[in-house]
Homo-oligomer: A and B are copies of this chain.
Amino acid sequence: MENQTILYAIPVSGVLALIYAFFKASWISKQPEGTEKMSKIAGHIADGALAFLKREYKVLVIFVISVAILLGFANSGREGTSPIIALSFVVGAFCSALAGFFGMKVATKANVRTTNAARTGLGQALNIAFSGGLVMGLSVVGLGILGLSSLFIIYSQMFPALTQVSEVINLISGFSLGASSIALFARVGGGIYTKAADVGADLAGKVYEGIPEDDPRNPATIADNVGDNVGDVAGMGADLFESYVGAIIGTMVLGAAFVPVFNTMGVNPVIGVTLPLIIAAVGILVSIVGSFFVKVKEGGNPQTGLNMGEFGASIIMAVLSYFIIDYFLPASWTVDGFTYTSLNIFFAVIIGLVAGVLIGMITEYYCSTDNKPVIEIARQSITGAATTIISGLGIGMMSTGLPVLVLSAAIVASHYYAGLYGIAIAALGMLSVTGIQLAVDAYGPISDNAGGIAEMAGLPPEVRERTDKLDAVGNTTAAIGKGFAIGSAALTALALFAAYRQQAHVTSLDISEPIIMAGLLIGAMLPFVFSAMAMGAVGRAASDMINEVGRQFREIPGLREGTAEAEFAHCVDISTKAAIREMILPGLMGVLVPVVVGFISKDMLGGLLAGVTSSGVLMAIFQSNAGGAWDNAKKRIEGKIEFNGVVYGKGSDAHKAAVVGDTVGDPLKDTSGPSLNILMKLIAVVALVIAPLL
């Protein structure tokens, strides 16, 4: 195939994804919304979500413009740098924000239509919820690949000499910086919003009047449902946009090392750089194909459909990767004494995939209701909240063991086969079918919302049962998704780290050097302080929420009896304000710390990257698994569980203790935990971008 043709075909796949997403979105819009009450509730949720996104983006615009100006100035008039990097940054930020906006817009339409479809059956409800998720997934990969490949084509024409390839890639790393910074703010802001509303609604219901969290009389309940959209849909979308883009760019940077050798071999010299784009482009098409497998018959198990879609797409992609790599890369070549083969690079991709699946399976083992760890937490709940918490913390910490061993093995093995390029492409292997992966992830909160709407609109219980069934499945696939997120984050951070070392011309990062050790310690500390900030924010915002609910119960006559309507908008406003206010400090920390440390010493910054990666991986796994296990221990008790002849269920003391665990786990698993994956990559990208300035 001709070089130019293949290069221009890449953005086309992005456009295709967006067109398909647009069709799916229109189809969803055409589905009926159900009763007037449903429509009204859904309207409140959609308005709240949109209002949050607008406010969030207003803050982010200021941030993006400021950073763009700084980037532009800092990169002016220096050898090997160009102010154009500011353009990449703005485009990256814009694409990320746009993907989040698209996804959330459609999710807030799909939720009520899923509820309505669930009034008659399961099949169409699954179809709508999954289609909503698919729009998010395709928007993310479509905009990601379109933005990246367009910039690459433009910059390649501006700097056509082969010696300028690494300059081009350096410019493109600005795109990743844009994506990462938006992702961190969106994840933290969205995470604070959703958990403040969730914890607030939960506790407020308990503190005042024993009203359940989805009860229409609970004023925080709309905010809670808005939270699912801004946190679990828009926040997660930005998160995966960042992972996806980061993995591609990480591989591109390292592929630049092949240029001189490929050139002498008569191979397309930049194929090491464009290969990740090609794999990603094919992954988009495979994701679309995979989405056709997602179906459920009436009475069937929706899990089967989701598994078919996701695993089907992964297997097809693995097979195709072999042919792509074999076709585009030479059979073998040698750089700096290391001999690469196309087969070994394929092995690295497979190592990434296998590691991701294994980490996902381990995650599922620790968090699933059917396994020993969750049952142990449930058992410990009998002696009260303290033992629930101790056992959950213990299980969360223990659950870091195997994933880290898998990850370490993957790092060593992929490096053995294909050097640093192997590590980077292993991460890409996990993320190549992000399109469908994200569709499955985003399907969860849509079904969750659908259930909330059913409850608030007072629909018959079988509707809620159906949406609960939708919500309950997808756990396995979501666990695999988590595995991919953590695994790829670590590998990508590592690839970016190696890239930083190259770009900053750091000759050796000897960890026994005190300055590097100091950097390592400070880096390892950041995930702790960052998590503390996120948790503190959730705690403060939840307190505000509880007080507001109390005020409404005191001041609105008839609210308690269900004859007057709660002032939902006030609660939405509290969550919005708190999330915006509280996301700024941790977000800025992620951007500023590496800059400050880098200007103190670029060696210290190297140590910092190693520290933040190692401790970030551990804290992310610990927090999300502890949270997941507590969540499911509560669910397990709700489904009744027997110990020593006594049956414990909803309302038992053991259940009350388990609810405490679940509430503690909420901010860990949905706010601080997932933000750490972004934090470690953001810090690495910032280091990479500022490397030429140090």
Contact = CB atoms under 8 A, between A and B. Distances in A.
Interface of A: 199, 203, 206-207, 380, 383-387, 389-391, 393-398, 400-401, 404-405, 407-409, 411-412, 415, 420, 423, 490, 494, 497-498, 501, 508-512, 514-525, 528-529, 531-533, 535-536, 538-539, 542-543, 546, 606-607, 610-611, 613-615, 617-618, 622, 659-660, 663-664, 667-668
Q: Which of A387, A391, A405, A497 has the most CB of B within 10 A?
A: A387
Given A387-B543, A393-B664, 10 more contacts: A207-B383, A385-B660, A390-B538, A394-B531, A397-B529, A405-B525, A411-B518, A494-B517, A520-B614, A614-B615
B509 A511 contact: yes
Contacts of A523: 614
Contact of A533 (B398, B535, B668): B398
A525 B386 contact: no
Q: Is the interface of A mostly helix, strand, loop or mixed?
A: helix
State the number of copies, please: 2
Q: Which of A380, A394, A510, A539 has the most CB of B within 10 A?
A: A394
A663 B411 contact: no
Given A494-B517, A614-B524, A618-B524, A539 B380 contact: yes
Contacts of A386: 199, 203, 385, 659-660, 663-664
A660 B400 contact: no
A200 to B, nearest CB: 10
Closest 3 CB pairs of A and B: A398-B532, A386-B663, A408-B518
Given A390-B535, A611-B614, A516 B521 contact: no
A546 B400 CA distance: 30
Given A394-B535, A529-B401, A520 B610 contact: yes
A623 to B, nearest CB: 9
Contact of A514 (B385, B415, B546): B415
A600 to B, nearest CB: 10
30 contacts: A385-B386, A389-B660, A390-B538, A393-B664, A394-B531, A394-B532, A394-B535, A395-B532, A396-B532, A397-B528, A397-B529, A397-B531, A397-B535, A398-B532, A398-B533, A400-B528, A400-B529, A401-B525, A404-B524, A415-B515, A490-B521, A508-B508, A509-B510, A511-B511, A512-B606, A525-B618, A528-B618, A528-B622, A610-B610, A615-B618
Contacts of A611: 614
